[in-house]
Structure 1
Amino acid sequence: MDIRELKYFIEIVKKKNFTLAAKNLHISQPALSKTMKNLESELEVQLLDRSDKEIKLTEIGQLFFVQAEAVLNAFDSLKASLYDQSKLNKGEVIVGLPPVIGSSIFVKVLTTFKESFPDIKLHIIENGAKMVEHNLYNGKIDLGVVIAPVDENQFEYIPIMEDESVLVVHHHHPLAQREAVSIANLKEEEFLLLDKTFMLHHHVVQYCQDAGFKPNILFESSQWDFLVELVAQNQGVTILPRPILSRVENRQIHIIPIRPNCLKWKVGFLLNREQYVTHVMKVFIDHTVRTVATCE
């Protein structure tokens, strides 16, 4: 049994099909089938149930799959650490970044990082925070940037900055005359929120429920600027992080603080506790924290 066979086995399980797995692995389907039969013969167990069109794991196969993934992850971490020591400020890092965060604080981070570390390739994948967590857990990205709180039993969290989320209303809205509002004041409002892939969506819903009511969500979007435009047309109210609104110039909207400040906007890095943190990952984390601190 070798690493190649483990990779083949894991790909078959994920695709649930020999043909699709073989295509992804760039080998022939008969060769892949033969490799799996040889592996099962060597281990003297049946790992795969081939009785249906969709490949399934046997009971022993499920146990083997968990261990195989752990071994493969450990092998990849070992390779990364060896490469890391030999290359230092060379390599690449893949970062999952929600658009609502990227547009507000990461423009300067990305441009200055490229200038300071031209030999490090930076790949940005834009997704909502929920998808960032999913991609990090599955090894599709190296780092995630999310809004706290997070599950710190599963992930390591490194704070970047803290601000607050605020209420955005039409300038003729009755609440526009107030210096501040509470969550309870919004019980009768129609909400325009970022969709469920964003942590802020879940935070707003939770705080409304804590205040004794279920928010009336009229519309959801992945585009914060679209929500602002809807508010400007007096279609409802929204809650957004204050930093992203600093660049908005629209006289039809009014921004109001929420008190008590229950909707803090805490942004930080998310790391998989099972993953090796490479030198280039540390470089990007340190650069980001320093750059954001100088902008505050």
Structure 2
Amino acid sequence: MELRQFKYLLSIAEEGTFTAAADKLYISQSALSQQVKSMEQELGVLLFDRSGNRLQFTEAGQLLHQRAKRIVKEVNEAKTAIDELENLYRGTLTVGVVQTVNAYLMPWVVSSFSAQFPGVQLKIQELSAPKIEQKVYNRELDLGVSFDPTEEPDLIFDALFEEELLLITNSKHTLASKKWINVTALDQQKLILLPEGYCTRRIWEKCASKSCIAPELQIEMNTISGLLSVLENNSAVGTILPALTMQMKVSGGLKSVKLKNPTPRRTVGILWRDGGYRSVSSQKFAEIFKQKYNGFEQNS
């Protein structure tokens, strides 16, 4: 049986005759009668008592009528729910974000998205880049905010922006007054860095290796706020972090120095599963993310 046949059944029950029901449904009486006969043949029972002026359900017809009301109601509710989902009145969006981006940019993105689409439940998970790739691939995340290149070939990377890594120090550090330095100036300098598994750390070490320098790693910490807090009270060390880190509140009073020859950079973007479904909410989130970064950069 088809959904339209259930709707025909409900219309007949409301109108009482094939003629009235057919008029309401904008089909011919003969077509409606044929559909009822088709249902009766499929079920092997009569659905209506046709002996009077007004159609009456048989016991089997009454049973099917009750089921038909429930089925049509649930289908209509499902259509409404899907419509609300597509128009962002409801739903859940799960996003994986690397720590550095989560620390300085995500609060603005999340606030904007939630203000525009309050019916969508937003779940932000701070994860390492490899973990984000794994979860996007396994469909545990709707999208990820991470770096290029990726290790997983079945992912698509939509680049959003490129940012430089800077030397960040206490204002009393010997290099704090410089606008820029060659990377070689950091040879033998004491640094505090994110752990080896972090993309920022890998980019910096590749840059240092290319420049044939050997800075002294004094401290490893797995949070940006922790690194910056150490710098507040220690003028003997510096750290290497993305430029927008300086927009964080905890960076107040610290100094940043640009690095050249070479300049370490990383590309931030959205990770999608190749060929995977992209919900309206995930597309809107990516759009807002890009808008917020552009505004953030112009004001920085």
Q: What is the TM-score of this pair, normalised by structure 2?
A: 0.63
Structure number with larger C-alpha Rg: 2
Is contact 1:98-1:128 (8 Å) kept?
Answer: yes
Q: Which residue of 2 aligns with 1:295?
A: 296
Matched residues in 1 for 2:231 and 2:100: separation?
Answer: 17
Q: Specify whether residues 208 and 111 from structure 1 end up closer, same or farther in structure 2 by C-alpha distance, changes over 3 A only.
A: same
SS at match of 2:176: helix
1:55-204 matched pairs, under 5 angstroms: 87-88=85-86, 89=88, 90-151=90-151, 153-204=153-204
Matched residues in 2 for 1:262 and 1:210: separation?
Answer: 11
Moved more, 185-194 or 231-240: 231-240
C-alpha deviation, 1:117, in angstroms: 1.1
Q: Which residue of 2 aligns with 1:217?
A: 217
Q: Specify whether residues 141 and 207 from structure 1 end up closer, same or farther in structure 2 by C-alpha distance, changes over 3 A only.
A: same
> What residue ranges of structure 1 are gaps of 5+ in the alignment?
1-82
Q: 2:278 aligned with 1:266, yes or no?
A: no
Is contact 2:188-2:213 (8 Å) kept?
Answer: no
Deviations 1:224-280 (A, max 9, x none): 1211222231352201112121234544x4311111462224321111215322222
Is contact 2:129-2:198 (8 Å) kept?
Answer: yes
Cα RMSD (Å) of the superposition? 2.5
| Overall identity of the aligned pairs, in % | 20
Moved more, 228-237 or 100-109: 228-237
Matched residues in 2 for 1:254 and 1:292: separation?
Answer: 22
- The residue type equivalent to 1:240 in the other structure is L
Q: Which residue of 1 aligns with 2:276?
A: 275
Q: Which residue of 2 aligns with 1:32?
A: none
> What residue ranges of structure 2 are gaps of 5+ in the alignment?
1-80
Q: 2:246 aligned with 1:245, yes or no?
A: yes
Matched residues in 1 for 2:203 and 2:155: separation?
Answer: 19
- The residue type equivalent to 1:288 in the other structure is F
Q: Which residue of 2 aligns with 1:41?
A: none
Q: Which residue of 2 aligns with 1:257?
A: 258
C-alpha deviation, 1:204, in angstroms: 0.7
- The residue type equivalent to 1:137 in the other structure is Y
Deviations 1:129-159 (A, max 9, x none): 2322232233321211113343474321122
Matched residues in 2 for 1:196 and 1:84: separation?
Answer: 44
SS at match of 1:177: coil
Is contact 1:187-1:213 (8 Å) kept?
Answer: yes
Q: What is the TM-score of this pair, normalised by structure 1?
A: 0.64
- The residue type equivalent to 2:92 in the other structure is E
Matched residues in 1 for 2:123 and 2:268: separation?
Answer: 19
